[in-house]
A = this chain, B = another copy of it.
């Protein structure tokens, strides 16, 4: 996805938010906003917003000297999510076997509500509880147009392994529910991909281990520190794994921004939180998305008929 002009005000909000999390003084916050003003005129809109994210977090880390300002927030969100884990496991066990995969996918998407760029932990916890207890609340946020569960299910049945791209800390616990299910019930090999260096509240290897992913999947790093996996910043090893993957599950908006134009077999699981991403997908803010890159790559019926 390219960068829209509407992303520019949002970049300023991101700088301010991250600067404050980093404990920057008012003066340093102003300096960071001024620095962004120097970058903006040179930034190409043909790059993805995730690339600007990389620039922003690198700049903040350099000026504030804080390598991982979201460390505490990440630890807290992992702990809170782990407390919800037993309840989620019981929920999966108590439903019909043929509905378990769908519920696991749904939980993985619900976990994507965790995003410190947008809300604080208390309101997130409340929202997650409401969603978990309200099937209707989930159903009203999905539509087959951008929630293609049948292709996901079919594709999954034909592969041996899944490359799973993580998003936020805390959310990792919700990913674990789906991954456990893919491993135990569907006998898939799963590789779980985290960021190479701290960026925002994105999960790192430590977070994945703390949340117990290592019991079910291999954990690797993308090598990059952009919010969303921008391939050109990733390690050659990761790029090879990515290109050879039979099926990729990609979590969150950052990865969608960075990878939506690729032709690899990627299934994007996310909650649409930004109006531009919602417009790009064709859904509303708050909608639950299960989109795949294959469908987008296929010419539409209209296109074929007009040839």
Write the residues of chain A forming the contact surface with B, with a CB cutoff of 8 angstroms. 5-6, 8-10, 12-13, 16, 26, 29-30, 33-34, 37-38, 40-41, 45
> Is A16 touching B26 in the complex (CB atoms < 8 A)?
no
How far does the alpha carbon of A37 sit from the alpha carbon of B40 in the complex, in Å? 7
Which of B5, B16, B34, B45 is the one whose CB lies under 8 Å from A40? B34
Which of B13, B34, B45 is the one whose CB lies under 8 Å from A41? B34
Given contacts A37-B41, A38-B37, contact A29 B5 (CB under 8 A): yes
Q: CB-nearest residue of chain B relative to A14?
A: B9
Contact residues in B for A26 (Cβ distance below 8 Å): 5
Shortest beta-carbon distance from A44 to chain B in Å: 11
Q: Quickly give the copy total for this chain.
A: 2
> Is B16 touching A12 in the complex (CB atoms < 8 A)?
no
How far does the alpha carbon of A16 sit from the alpha carbon of B11 in the complex, in Å? 14
Contact residues in B for A5 (Cβ distance below 8 Å): 16, 26, 29-30, 33
Contact residues in B for A41 (Cβ distance below 8 Å): 34, 37-38
How far does the alpha carbon of A37 sit from the alpha carbon of B13 in the complex, in Å? 14
Contact residues in B for A33 (Cβ distance below 8 Å): 5, 8, 40
Between-chain CB contacts (< 8 Å), 22 pairs: A5-B26, A5-B29, A5-B30, A5-B33, A8-B12, A8-B16, A8-B33, A9-B9, A9-B10, A9-B12, A9-B13, A9-B16, A12-B12, A30-B45, A33-B40, A34-B40, A34-B41, A37-B37, A37-B38, A37-B40, A37-B41, A38-B41
How far does the alpha carbon of A116 sit from the alpha carbon of B10 in the complex, in Å? 20
Contact residues in B for A9 (Cβ distance below 8 Å): 9-10, 12-13, 16
Q: CB-nearest residue of chain B relative to A16?
A: B5
Contact residues in B for A6 (Cβ distance below 8 Å): 16
Q: CB-nearest residue of chain B relative to A5?
A: B29
How far does the alpha carbon of A306 sit from the alpha carbon of B267 in the complex, in Å? 64
